[in-house]
Amino acid sequence: MSNNRFNLIDESWIPIQGQGPVSLREIFSNQQSLQAIGGNAVQKISLIKLLLAIIQRAWTPQNDSRWKTEGISVMAEKTLKYLEDNYSLFYLYGDRPFLQRIEASSARKMTIGTGEYPKPLSKDSSIVFFTQIPKKLSEAQQALFIVSLMNFSLGGIGHPIQGLNSTWAGYKSQKGGKVMASSGPGTGTWTGNLHSFALGSTLLETLWINVLTEENIKQNSFWKKGLGTPPWELLFINEDIAQDLKDSYMGCLVGMSRFVLLAGNDIHYAEGIRYPSHKTGWREPSISLKESKKCNVKFINTSKKPWREITSLLSFFSTKNINDFKCQQLEWAHHKAEFGNLNTFGIWSGGLGVTFKMGDQDPKGKDDFVSSEIIFNLQAFGSDAYAVLIKEMANLEELSKNLEKSIRGYFKTLGGGKKNSFGRSVTEKAMSLFWNNCEEKFHSLIAACESGKTESVYNDFTKIVESVYNIFCSKESNKQLISWAKNQPNTNRKEL
């Protein structure tokens, strides 16, 4: 085995918005200068969860009062001490490589690829997009890939994978000796889970308001083992330990869905822990769930950015929406932000959208990483503002439907009532432009809901409707002019 090298505590590998990568030590030593995690949506989620796992291992306050009293400074101080005391556990390469298993050296070797997606490449992998072309990765990029892979590995029959041995709980033989890969807990089933976290004014404040207390952890009956033990402290993982991880909060923060071992730009790759789905008991606090007869989860929709899900993400503001999706992470964090007397409260939501065809998950290759960031004035945005926001988002959706109907009608009129494939294509582009332009005005809508004066912002949205309609529905010829006039979108405000 190679000597210990590239320690994540000292080496710069964590991407930060607006500057270069930093080390774990720098994260907890700079209380003001670091603003937010960088990278794509999967990398952000994985890194936030890893940082929270390290913090929770070092500092899990008993209740909200202790959380507030001890604050960011104690959190950072205790986390730095934990890192110093466990320095030897954070080497990327060595006798106990971080989030890797030495026994995986006997597993199939694959190429890491670009490191962007949580999926290595085999010799049989098809390269369809430029972003899939393999490249030599730095050790910092390899570390980022490992952390992302553990939570967001992709599953399905198109990802043949071997178990380390036939008795391992995750091993499931298929015809021909192949194994159907299970997806990582962060990815979930079908098209990928939407994840949400609270945002503070700095990175450490973001981590602080997302920390769970002992009381929070006890409130989740699915975490039978409580906080649990982080995987990097475990010398081995057998079936009993795997079950303990799945039954703990630590198992939500740091998955072990693959047993891997880095080998240069390649990786030994084997089946890891198989996690339950949301339907069979998986309760990760950063995902949005609707608890009913059947538990439903909010999936990624690459054609609908997360900001459009805002009324669902904030459903904890209202006791009337008991049957709506709820994100436990945001509800707990919002309470802490109010209890901690913060001025602002932000939400980051995102994830990886994947296709699910013939029992197989794969990145779409286009617009597959989605995310939105929303900031509120904590003193001004309450249940009243939330009620206004519900109405205004419904009005915005109505404008969208009217615009789409008008554009389809325009091309149908031009085509003499026949189906028009060109019109469908144009309509999709038009609606994409509409929502992109509305997103730029969304923070103005939030501010208007806080004041209760939304007429001006609604007028801005109607202007976007008119602009998009005129861009995609020409009136140069007489026939076009007739169709343009006949299908004018209705922008009257609907009283809800």
Residues 391 and 366 in one domain: no
User: Between the ranges 90-94, 105-109, 236-240, 490-494, where is the mean pLDDT highest?
Assistant: 90-94
Residues 228 and 315 in one domain: yes
pLDDT above 80 for 270: yes
Other beta carbons within 10 Å of 383: 11
Which residue among 377, 400, 431 closes a domain? Answer: 377
Residues 449 and 321 in one domain: no
Is residue 154, in this structure, part of any structural domain at all?
Answer: no
Q: Which domain holds residue 436?
A: 383-486
| CA–CA gap between residue 107 and residue 101 (Å, rounded) | 11
Residues in Cβ contact with 378 at an 8 Å cutoff, skipping those fewer than 6 apart: 337, 338, 342, 343, 344, 345
Find where tokens 């009532």 sit: 417
What's the burial of 306, exposed, middle or buried (CB within 10 Å: 0-12/13-18/19+)? buried
In this predicted model, which residue has the larger pLDDT, 148 or 163?
Answer: 148
**Residues 150/182, Cβ–Cβ less than 8 Å:** no
Q: What is the mean pLDDT of residues 346-351?
A: 96
Other beta carbons within 10 Å of 6: 20
Binned at pLDDT 50, 70 and 90, residue 140 comes out as: very high
pLDDT above 80 for 156: no
Which residue(s) pair with 181 in the sheet? 156
Lowest mean pLDDT among 157-166, 178-187, 223-232: 157-166
Residues 351 and 321 in one domain: yes
Is residue 155, in this structure, part of any structural domain at all?
Answer: no
Is residue 159, in this structure, part of any structural domain at all?
Answer: no
Residues 81 and 220 in one domain: yes
Is residue 51, in this structure, part of any structural domain at all?
Answer: yes
* Three-state helix/strand/coil letters over 405-435: HHHHHHHHHHCCCCCCHHHHHHHHHHHHHHH
Name the amino acid, one letter, at 46: S
What's the pLDDT at 295?
80
- Kindly list the distances between the CA atom of residue 98 and the CA atoms of 14, 49, 123, 334, 488, in Å, as whole numbers in the listed order: 15, 15, 26, 33, 60
Looking at 59-123, which runs of residues are DSSP E strands? 91-93, 109-111
Lowest mean pLDDT among 381-390, 419-428, 473-482: 419-428
Residue 225, both tokens: 């083992």
- Kindly list the distances between the CA atom of residue 478 and the CA atoms of 185, 416, 481, in Å, as whole numbers in the listed order: 57, 15, 5
Other beta carbons within 10 Å of 382: 13
In this predicted model, which residue has the larger pLDDT, 363 or 179?
Answer: 363
- Kindly list the distances between the CA atom of residue 206 and the CA atoms of 9, 46, 337, in Å, as whole numbers in the listed order: 20, 14, 10
Q: pLDDT tens digit string along 82-136? A: 999 999 999 999 999 999 999 899 888 888 888 888 888 765 555 555 556 667 8
pLDDT above 80 for 160: no
In this predicted model, which residue has the larger pLDDT, 367 or 356?
Answer: 356
**Residues 255/275, Cβ–Cβ less than 8 Å:** yes
In this predicted model, which residue has the larger pLDDT, 299 or 12?
Answer: 12
Residues 349 and 480 in one domain: no
Residues 267 and 203 in one domain: yes
Which backbone phi and psi does 459 adopt, to 5 degrees?
-60, -35
Which residue among 353, 377, 401 closes a domain? Answer: 377
How many domains are contained in the chain? 2
Residues 227 and 364 in one domain: yes
| CA–CA gap between residue 101 and residue 84 (Å, rounded) | 23
What's the pLDDT at 400?
97
Lowest mean pLDDT among 56-60, 161-165, 491-495: 161-165
Lowest mean pLDDT among 153-162, 251-260, 312-321, 426-435: 153-162
Which backbone phi and psi does 350 adopt, to 5 degrees?
180, -170
Binned at pLDDT 50, 70 and 90, residue 174 comes out as: very low
Is residue 157, in this structure, part of any structural domain at all?
Answer: no
Which residue among 313, 346, 377 closes a domain? Answer: 377
pLDDT above 50 for 171: no
What's the pLDDT at 276?
86
Other beta carbons within 10 Å of 282: 21
Residues 372 and 387 in one domain: no
Binned at pLDDT 50, 70 and 90, residue 484 comes out as: very high
Is residue 162, in this structure, part of any structural domain at all?
Answer: no
Which residue(s) pair with 362 in the sheet? 355
Q: pLDDT tens digit string along 404-462? A: 999 999 999 988 666 666 778 899 999 999 999 999 999 999 999 999 899 999 999 99
Residues 362 and 415 in one domain: no
What's the pLDDT at 261?
95
Is residue 104, in this structure, part of any structural domain at all?
Answer: no
Is residue 341, in this structure, part of any structural domain at all?
Answer: yes
Task: State the average pLDDT for the chain.
Answer: 88
Other beta carbons within 10 Å of 292: 8
What's the pLDDT at 77?
97
Nearest to 300, CA basis, from 379, 372, 377: 372
Looking at 317-368, which runs of residues are DSSP E strands? 326-327, 344-352, 354-357, 360-363
User: Between the ranges 230-244, 304-318, 433-447, where is the mean pLDDT highest?
Assistant: 433-447
Looking at 247-322, which runs of residues are DSSP E strands? 258-263, 266-271, 288-290, 296-297
Residues 286 and 368 in one domain: yes
Residues 291 and 247 in one domain: yes
The DSSP code for 99 is T
Q: What is the mean pLDDT of residues 370-376?
A: 94
